[in-house]
Amino acid sequence: MKSINIRGHKYTVTRVDEFEDAGTIGHCTQKDASIKVLKGMPESIEAETTIHEVLHALCYHAGIYPNKSGMVNGEQIIDSLANGLFQLGFKPPIT
């Protein structure tokens, strides 16, 4: 199983065959420190989705979780940041 350290918390990172919601391609859960990414996507989409989920965890542990702090369009903010980091060549240090 792969993992990544996010602000001192070890998150497991797994690729899954499907999600309950057919439109979901990634999910981060702070309760069990896990990130799940849909299998079978192009490598670039999988990488950007992983970055997206890592950003959710980073924001949560920094106390600025966009979807719970009243920020408008929290998912769009995370999407924009994830795409920008991906374009810059960022790759999460998953071991």
Of 92 and 13, the structure prediction assigns the larger pLDDT to 13
**How many residues does the structure list for the chain?**
95
Using alpha carbons, select from 27, 52, 30, 54 the residue that is nearest to residue 38: 27
In CATH terms, the fold of domain 2-87 is Arc Repressor Mutant, subunit A (1.10.10)
Q: Quick one: pLDDT at residue 88?
A: 84
**pTM attached to this predicted model:** 0.84
For the chain, which residues make up each domain, given as ranges? 2-87
Helix intervals (H) in the chain: 43-61, 74-87
| Residue 66 pLDDT class (50, 70, 90 cuts) | low
Buried b (16+ CB within 10 A) or exposed e, 16-50: eeeeeeeeebbbbeeeeebbbbbeeeeeeebbbbb
Whether pLDDT at 73 is above 80: no
Tens of pLDDT, residue by residue over 13-43, are 999 999 999 999 999 999 999 999 999 999 9
